[in-house]
């Protein structure tokens, strides 16, 4: 009986939406894949790059709706590689920034499955760039902090006191559901009501929308404009540059 050669898993960041933000390595490996497991946040134009010969498996998650539990995804990656396949695990943004990439690799290590990690453009960098908002600027912010608005237990219990700090930009992933709580908590811990905020919906895609507001009004602005996920929050004085530096869709 012929022994099946072990395959390999490639954990690939697909970036925030624009297919041209894929790295050359990500594109090459995607075109060589036998099996591709992809998430909800992977753009449709990127999904269309998957070879017709590859087995495509949607394993995305939306709030409270999981097509496949995380543990099952982990096991499936190992199983497909052990069958001798070149497996691509395609994630929106970067797999190591709020992408659960580390959890999936831990299972592969336990199963003795070889893997590679291909970083992608994370939503903070991609969406901010396409919105015309520099995350750092010598006159406004010398540090930037990435946070998730959706913790493992479903809360938005963040270290609020640390977040109210001058010359700092906050970027909150998955913050739309908890937006009211986030804005009220930051105000409670001393953030100025006039602190500029941007909400970037479907950033880097053709459907991108950007709304700027203040921390006290951002929930109402997002509600009135019916902002939908995926959306990124950028909080900080750098947001004031958006009017001047916005370029996407203008030229």
* Residue scoring higher pLDDT (26 or 4): 26
Cβ atoms of 43 and 103 within 8 Å: the answer is no
CA distance 41 to 119: 15
With a cut of 90, say whether residue 2 has pLDDT above it.
no
Q: What is the pLDDT of residues 190-239, one digit of tens each?
A: 999 999 999 999 999 999 999 999 999 999 999 999 999 999 999 999 99
How many H helices and E strands in the chain? 9, 12
pLDDT for residue 161:
93
Distance of CA 25 to the CA centre of its chain: 19
Q: Would the CATH topology of 8-118 be identical to that of 123-245?
A: no
Cβ atoms of 21 and 130 within 8 Å: the answer is no
Whether the bond between 230 and the residue before it is cis, its omega within 30 degrees of 0, is yes
CA distance 49 to 63: 26
The full set of domain ranges for the chain reads 8-118, 123-245
- Please report which confidence band the pLDDT of residue 153 belongs to, taking 50, 70 and 90 as the band edges: low
Terminal-residue alpha carbon distance, the chain = 61
pLDDT for residue 135:
98
Task: Give the predicted TM-score (pTM) of the model.
Answer: 0.92
Cβ atoms of 135 and 162 within 8 Å: the answer is no
Write out the catalytic residue numbers.
39, 61
Within the chain, strands assigned E span: 8-13, 35-38, 55-58, 61-62, 65-66, 86-91, 115-118, 143-148, 168-173, 196-201, 209-214, 231-235
The CATH class of the 8-118 domain is: alpha beta
The CATH class of the 123-245 domain is: alpha beta
pLDDT for residue 70:
86
pLDDT for residue 249:
84
pLDDT for residue 174:
92
């Amino acid at each position: 009986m012929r022994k099946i050669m072990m395959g390999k898993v490639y954990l690939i960041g697909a970036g925030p939406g624009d297919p041209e933000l894929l790295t050359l390595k990500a594109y090459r490996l995607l075109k060589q894949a036998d099996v591709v497991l992809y998430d909800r946040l992977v753009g449709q134009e990127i999904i269309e790059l998957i070879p017709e010969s590859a087995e495509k498996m949607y394993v995305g998650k939306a709030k409270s709706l999981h097509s496949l539990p995380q543990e099952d995804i982990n096991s499936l990656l190992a199983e497909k590689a052990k069958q001798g396949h070149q497996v691509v695990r395609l994630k929106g943004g970067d797999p190591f920034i709020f992408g659960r990439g580390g959890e999936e690799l831990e299972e592969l290590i336990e199963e003795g499955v070889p893997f590679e990690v291909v970083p992608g453009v994370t939503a903070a960098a991609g969406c901010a760039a396409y919105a015309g908002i520099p995350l750092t600027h010598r006159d406004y912010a010398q540090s930037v902090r990435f946070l998730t608005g959706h913790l493992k237990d479903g809360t938005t219990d963040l270290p609020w006191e640390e977040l109210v700090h001058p010359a700092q930009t906050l970027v909150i992933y998955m913050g739309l559901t908890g937006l009211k709580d986030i804005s009220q908590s930051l105000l409670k811990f001393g953030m100025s009501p006039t602190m500029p905020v941007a909400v970037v919906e479907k950033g880097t895609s053709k459907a991108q929308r950007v709304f700027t507001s203040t921390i006290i009004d951002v929930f109402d602005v997002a509600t009135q404009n019916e902002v939908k996920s995926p959306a990124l929050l950028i909080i900080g004085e750098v947001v004031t540059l958006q009017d001047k530096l916005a370029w996407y869709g203008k030229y």
